[in-house]
Homo-oligomer: A and B are copies of this chain.
Amino acid sequence: MDIKTYLANRRQLVDDTLTQLLPPPGNQLDRHVESMNYSLQAGGKRVRPILCMAAAEALLGRELDPRLLPVACALECIHTYSLIHDDLPAMDNDALRRGKPTNHTIYGEAGAILAGDGLLTFAFELLSRDDTPGLLPAGGRLRLIHLLAQAIGPLGMVGGQALDMAAEDRPISLAELQMIHRCKTGALITASVQTGAVLGQASEAQFQALTAYAGHLGLAFQIVDDLLNVEGTPEQLGKAAGSDAHHRKATYPALFGVDGTRKLAQESVQAAISELVGFDRNADPLRHLAEYIYRRTC
């Protein structure tokens, strides 16, 4: 399969669906919805929705069921909310994201805080829509909401950001770094794959295998992000290279060097793929996705 074409198609589908799902313009709340949409449409790669869809496809077959799309888009709303809040002056104080001005530089701090709050809440509105009859019983949908809420809550993504903030400007151990990554980035990536697994009505064994795949993938993803932050051009990054080092955040390259870090990423990708041994060719997108993430380093 051609992973680049697959990713481009899926990304377009997510872009189009997000636009359709957001509240339509024509009332006093246009500016607020516009601020949400500004960050949603700021060039994200849609990795989390695509992982969700690919995990469901691994179980249901390669014909995409359009009823998966609102759930997949909810994951992108959650990811975008986390980026908007992370970029705030009180947090990382970033003026650029993916080469574009961050939300608060356009809509102000209050507007950006509310855009994030709105996107997080809207995600749960999408997740609880009763529009998948025949695809997933209500109990399954409830389980999906619960595992996602846990993944992004106080002991997951939000907690990870709190740890990350607390770790600024002081030395950090590898164990702390891994804990921050696992919460801040890994939890939502794992939940994205798990959400697809629930939508695909995975058996317990399949659910566990996909969860293990996602754990390795999330680690690879974070390691590659660290590498790109050291080595990437501003064009690749959409922000100044080395900005993490500037904030004195702990990174893998700082702990293991560039070559050691690249090797770690490669091992994680191989570990992810090996978890899919029990799946047939319908899981090829998941396999190619893992390799694609590694190739971003080269």
Q: Which residues of A contact B (CB under 8 A)?
A: 23, 28-29, 31-33, 36, 85, 88, 90-91, 108-111, 113-114, 116-118, 120-122, 124-125, 127-130, 137-139, 141-143, 145-146, 149-150, 152-155, 158-159, 161-163, 165-166, 176, 179
Contacts and interface: CB of A to CB of B under 8 A. Distances in A.
A153 B138 contact: no
A127 to B, nearest CB: 8
B114 A161 contact: yes
Nearest to A109: B90
A113 B85 contact: yes
A236 B108 CA distance: 33
Contacts of A139: 130, 138
A145 B122 contact: no
Contact of A128 (B114, B145, B152, B159): B145
A244 to B, nearest CB: 17
A141 B139 CA distance: 9
Contact of A154 (B36, B146, B155, B159): B36
15 contacts: A23-B155, A28-B176, A29-B154, A32-B162, A90-B108, A90-B109, A116-B117, A117-B117, A118-B154, A121-B149, A121-B158, A125-B149, A129-B146, A138-B139, A141-B142
B121 A29 contact: no
Contacts of A85: 113-114, 117
Given A130-B139, A130-B142, A159 B124 contact: no
A146 B124 CA distance: 7
Given A90-B108, A161-B114, A128 B146 contact: yes
A110 to B, nearest CB: 5
A97 B163 CA distance: 26
A91 B118 contact: no
Given A125-B150, A163-B29, A90 B118 contact: no
A162 B114 contact: yes
A111 B88 CA distance: 12
Contacts of A166: 31
A195 B206 CA distance: 35
A90 B110 contact: yes
B162 A29 contact: yes
